[in-house]
A and B are shown apart, each in its own frame.
Chain A
Amino acid sequence: MENITPESLFEARRHFLKLGAGALVSSSAVSRLLADLPKDLSLKYTPDTNPLKLTLNTEEQATNYVNFYEFSTDKTAPVKLSQKMKTNPWNVGFFGELKTEQMLDVDDLIAKFGLEERIYRFRCVEGWSMVVPWIGFPLYKLLDYLEPNAKAKFVKFTTRNEPSMFPDQAKGIFASIKHPYVEGLRMDEARHPLTFIAVGMYGKRLLPQNGAPIRLVVPWKYGFKSIKSIDLIECVEEQPLNTWQVQDPKEYGFYANVNPKVDHPRWTQAKERVLGKLTKQDTLPFNGYEKEVASLYAGMDLRKLF
């Protein structure tokens, strides 16, 4: 918990000092002051210097326009529907081909791996994009800790399956997609330094609608790879069947690398709508991370393995 230092506590302390040496302030007054503070979710982390000079989208945009089918297929409905979601405590299970199978709470993970900020482009397969300052730790740190064995060729991620928390999971055959949501990465993709586990954004813990309390962020892949509210991380031998590939294999593949040259069967992927803008911008190969990740796919036909 030592990494979580509420910003408002700093403010409170400053306010306290302003009162003048604290001489006449009774402890009950301080506790009253603290009790009045809104619940704060701010985090302590190493900031990203933003060398690419990316222009951030607003927190309002990033927290009010989401695809979270466990709540609704609508982009704004999950905001209201998710507010009662209980994300603390939250244990994540680590199983499969690794040294010691175990469960760890998100707070333990934060304490173990520390927090840093990553300002990344985020491109949805539907054609919109944004720039988000995520907070978390690179997945390789977690994998180094878990020590996958020689059989571990892929990493499989599963969203929590809890119909009382996620209304769409309670709909049975009328659910919008097959639950629980599954995603996967090849081990070398998972170990890539850009691949990120986020627990926060915009300086604070993730809000429920953004996949609290812990999610994946793979900036060179379409957004659906960045699975939310993770329950399980497994190291596996076989390539996992990810949810959207199961849903429609003609439209969504395993790799889902952002590629302006390979269209979605229904729309072109050459350009994107940056949230908040009426004009469009060119979509970049691998979402602008070509230099860093293109070598992972050397010799592969990215039209077939989309």
Chain B
Amino acid sequence: MKILLVLLALLPLGVAYYQLDNAIDPIKMLYSYTGIGAISLLLLSLAPSTYKRICSINWLRYRKTIGLLAFVYALLHVSIFVALDSEFDFVTIFEKSLKKPFIYVGLIAFIIVLLMALTSFKKLFAKFSKYHKAVYLALALALLHSFWAQKVAGVFEYGIVAVGVVLLGERVWAKMHHNFK
């Protein structure tokens, strides 16, 4: 089941690779695939706990896999920035790009996801799992980054906001409900 999940989640990368030859704006296309993939998976990683509360289906065991997949997408996204977009020109990266909120907001989101990935295994997770609430911050920053990635935001950005509001709203509601009991 987990293998299937991984294969399904990585399928878009296969599609991207297949389309690369004929892509009109290949770097932009790779940015979109990996960026949309990372944000979607990050958002999806919030779903198992929602399902557990609402439908009593326990998918929590997939949460780590989904989170790690989101990290893989984010890592690819950052690699495209460094290798293809900046062509390893670290002077420009540090002196120009990283000074722009659009870039550093995305980078902070990536660092959070990176730290979560590194502390998602056994012993470390026991110690650091409480900090994994930072996923909300990562998601918010990544979303802001994607809003800034185009001249004006489109369907994807607003769609993610809508789903995010639903998932967060349910969490807040569940918590209040729980407290009243």
A residues lining the B interface (CB < 8 Å): 60-61, 64-65, 67, 69, 73-75, 125-126, 128, 176-177, 244, 247, 263, 265-268, 270-271, 273, 275-280
The smallest beta-carbon distance between B79 and chain A, in angstroms, is: 13
Cβ–Cβ contact A176 & B152, under 8 A: yes
The smallest beta-carbon distance between A148 and chain B, in angstroms, is: 32
A268 to B91, CA, bound (A): 13
Cβ–Cβ contact B87 & A74, under 8 A: no
Q: Check if B85 is an interface residue, CB within 8 A of chain A.
A: yes
Contact among A64, A73, A177, A275 for B150, CB-based, below 8 A: A73
User: In the complex, which residues of chain B have a beta carbon less than 8 angstroms from the beta carbon of A265?
Assistant: 100, 102
Main secondary structure of the interface of B (DSSP, over half): helix
Q: Decide yes or no: A278 and B84 within 8 Å by CB, A65-B25, A268-B97, A270-B92 being known contacts.
A: yes
A265 to B104, CA, bound (A): 12
Q: Check if B64 is an interface residue, CB within 8 A of chain A.
A: no
The smallest beta-carbon distance between A79 and chain B, in angstroms, is: 11
Cβ–Cβ contact B152 & A73, under 8 A: yes
**For the complex of A and B, 9 pairs with smallest distance between CB atoms:** A266-B102, A65-B24, A73-B154, A61-B24, A278-B26, A176-B152, A268-B96, A273-B27, A275-B24
Cβ–Cβ contact B87 & A276, under 8 A: no
Residue of B nearest to A74 (CB): B154
A279 to B20, CA, bound (A): 13
User: In the complex, which residues of chain B have a beta carbon less than 8 angstroms from the beta carbon of A73?
Assistant: 150-152, 154
A263 to B99, CA, bound (A): 11
The smallest beta-carbon distance between A239 and chain B, in angstroms, is: 22
Q: Mark interface residues in B81-122 (1 if CB within 8 Å of A CB, else 0).
A: 000110100001000110011110000000000000000000
Residue of A nearest to B102 (CB): A266
Known: A128-B25, A244-B151. 18 other contacts (CB 8 A): A60-B24, A61-B24, A64-B24, A69-B152, A73-B154, A74-B154, A75-B24, A176-B152, A247-B152, A265-B100, A265-B102, A266-B100, A266-B101, A267-B102, A270-B96, A273-B28, A278-B20, A278-B84
User: In the complex, which residues of chain B have a beta carbon less than 8 angstroms from the beta carbon of A266?
Assistant: 100-103, 148
Main secondary structure of the interface of A (DSSP, over half): loop
Cβ–Cβ contact A277 & B28, under 8 A: no
The smallest beta-carbon distance between A116 and chain B, in angstroms, is: 27
The size class of the interface chain B forms with chain A is 20 to 34
A177 to B150, CA, bound (A): 13
List the count of A-B residue pairs having beta carbons below 8 Å apart.
62
Q: Decide yes or no: A275 and B25 within 8 Å by CB, A73-B152, A266-B148, A280-B87 being known contacts.
A: yes
Cβ–Cβ contact B27 & A278, under 8 A: yes
User: In the complex, which residues of chain A have a beta carbon less than 8 angstroms from the beta carbon of B150?
Assistant: 73, 126
A73 to B148, CA, bound (A): 14
A126 to B27, CA, bound (A): 12
Contact among A247, A263, A277 for B26, CB-based, below 8 A: A277
User: In the complex, which residues of chain B have a beta carbon less than 8 angstroms from the beta carbon of A263?
Assistant: 96, 100
Could you pull out 28 A-B pairs where Cβ atoms are within 8 angstroms?
A61-B24, A65-B24, A67-B151, A73-B150, A75-B25, A126-B150, A128-B28, A244-B151, A263-B96, A263-B100, A265-B102, A266-B102, A266-B148, A267-B97, A267-B100, A268-B92, A268-B96, A268-B97, A273-B25, A273-B26, A273-B27, A273-B28, A275-B24, A276-B23, A278-B26, A279-B84, A280-B85, A280-B87
Q: Decide yes or no: A126 and B96 within 8 Å by CB, A267-B102, A273-B27, A276-B24 being known contacts.
A: no
Residue of A nearest to B95 (CB): A268
The smallest beta-carbon distance between A83 and chain B, in angstroms, is: 19
User: In the complex, which residues of chain A have a beta carbon less than 8 angstroms from the beta carbon of B27?
Assistant: 273, 278, 280
The smallest beta-carbon distance between A167 and chain B, in angstroms, is: 14
Residue of A nearest to B87 (CB): A280
User: In the complex, which residues of chain B have a beta carbon less than 8 angstroms from the beta carbon of A276?
Assistant: 23-24, 26
